[in-house]
Structure 1
């Protein structure tokens, strides 16, 4: 029998040789060849856009809250957690598109399973998609449970979008409940933050903006949420946050771009 094509791939063009569909016995080798041949159109697009990017080697297994860049390098990375979320993720994407900004989305696996089209849109519009566990649990997990949380999410991201990610953010920033240790062992770069909007507590729009701007610095990583609850104030605050950063001369980059900048800076410094 033929291998089952993932449900998310059923409407895509597939590059499968007619010879592979002959009535020869389906050996494990032939099944493997067929699976390798199932390449969806959005997987090709993701690869062509360079979105399946691994972080520089020096950051594998590392924990990063910001890039250590010179004060003249006025770049900052916007990150969004807990989506995809139908009430707010599309609005966030609309604002980013209008402002020609690429961001990094740390998605929850079970939410991506419910809303795969939003995951595809994140990638199609040039953003980086990353791992925020499957269930977004805070409690302690044994190694097997931690592996499930991370591996299943990474696998679904690839199945839906074609992107292979090695970026991880622990829910709540917790480093003691299992997933963080597993991610480090698997050489994920754990991405924390240097500016917290605290939007999970639903502050006023003005307070949310202040929370972000008071901790702004070159090479910084801003934490916001596009999911996990009512994020209407985040959506309202985002255009002003963008305007404020631009008035201060900042340019927006993704987390992988930020790490590439630090890596290049360190390479140059090592040659002096």
Structure 2
């Protein structure tokens, strides 16, 4: 998902430059040691289906359940971008992942299956780090509606298969427990898309704070936009790529200490969804 925003969301040509995130196999000294709670796999929290069984949509956590905030990073790579990667374009940002680890910030990575196919070692490295969780961002990063920031469109009869193919790609890469959360490419969806994906059993995850980091070069502006937008329970959408979101890593280094000074605690999306479910 890429949206370029300064205060108000503005359309941008996503097909020209899409973002992604990743990290190399790095020393694990800064990672939390496995504990009984992390070693035992429990069922991730999800929201109940919406009216008529539609896929539920999650935007933010409770505003009254403490000062928590979830940073999310979209690992975008479309199905037809292999030649660009082969030519040297980097759809990953190892330094950003290293910074999140150094700052001890948990995060949720919404990854496309095509990206996992391109960077299986990075996908596995992130997926096996208990500080992070990997969620589904489709396989192809094609839009699930028409007129979605210039993205190609996946047909209705291929939507379910596209999501399931991403999970297959994660498993092939060695990601042990991909989460049952799905972010629509471009954030674009309609009732028909929600109906079509109901059989997959995912919770669709949107956001309430757009960082504006896509294509941005001013890290101060990105940080300011996030800091001004965050409320208790917020979900922040960001990106991690060296090619299309070069300011993100530096912005994160400014955002994290400032939010901590304000009393915020960083969590993964799963924790916010669990809190939202308890408040229903």
Question: Which interval holds the TM-score relative to the shorter structure?
Answer: 0.7 to 0.9
Match of 2:271 among 250, 257, 262: 257
C-alpha distance in 2, partners of 1:79/1:51? 22
What is residue 156 of structure 1 aligned with on the other side?
Answer: 169
What is residue 82 of structure 1 aligned with on the other side?
Answer: 75
C-alpha distance in 2, partners of 1:147/1:265? 30
Over 3 Å counting, the alpha-carbon distance change for 1:200 and 1:214 in structure 2 is same
Over 3 Å counting, the alpha-carbon distance change for 1:241 and 1:213 in structure 2 is same
Q: CA RMSD in A?
A: 2.7
Range 193-202 or range 76-85, more displaced: 76-85
Shift, 1:258, TM fit: 1.1
The answer on whether the counterparts of 2:62 and 2:275 sit within 8 Å (CA) in structure 1 is no
Shift, 1:231, TM fit: 2.2
Q: How many residues align?
A: 220
Cα deviations by residue, 1:212-261 (Å, 9 ceiling, x for unpaired): 11110001000001148432201111111111110110000000111112
SS at match of 2:73: strand
What is residue 45 of structure 2 aligned with on the other side?
Answer: 55
What is residue 224 of structure 1 aligned with on the other side?
Answer: 238
What is residue 143 of structure 1 aligned with on the other side?
Answer: 156
The answer on whether the counterparts of 2:180 and 2:202 sit within 8 Å (CA) in structure 1 is yes
Over 3 Å counting, the alpha-carbon distance change for 1:205 and 1:50 in structure 2 is farther
What is residue 113 of structure 2 aligned with on the other side?
Answer: 109
C-alpha distance in 1, partners of 2:63/2:268? 15
Structure number with bigger Rg: 1
Range 162-171 or range 112-121, more displaced: 162-171
After TM superposition, the score normalised by the length of structure 1 is 0.72
Structure 1 unmatched runs, 5+: 1-44, 267-272
Higher helix share: 1
Which protein, 1 or 2, shows the higher relative CO under an 8 Å CA cutoff with sep ≥ 6? 2
Shift, 1:81, TM fit: 0.2
After TM superposition, the score normalised by the length of structure 2 is 0.70
2:188 pairs with 1:174 = yes
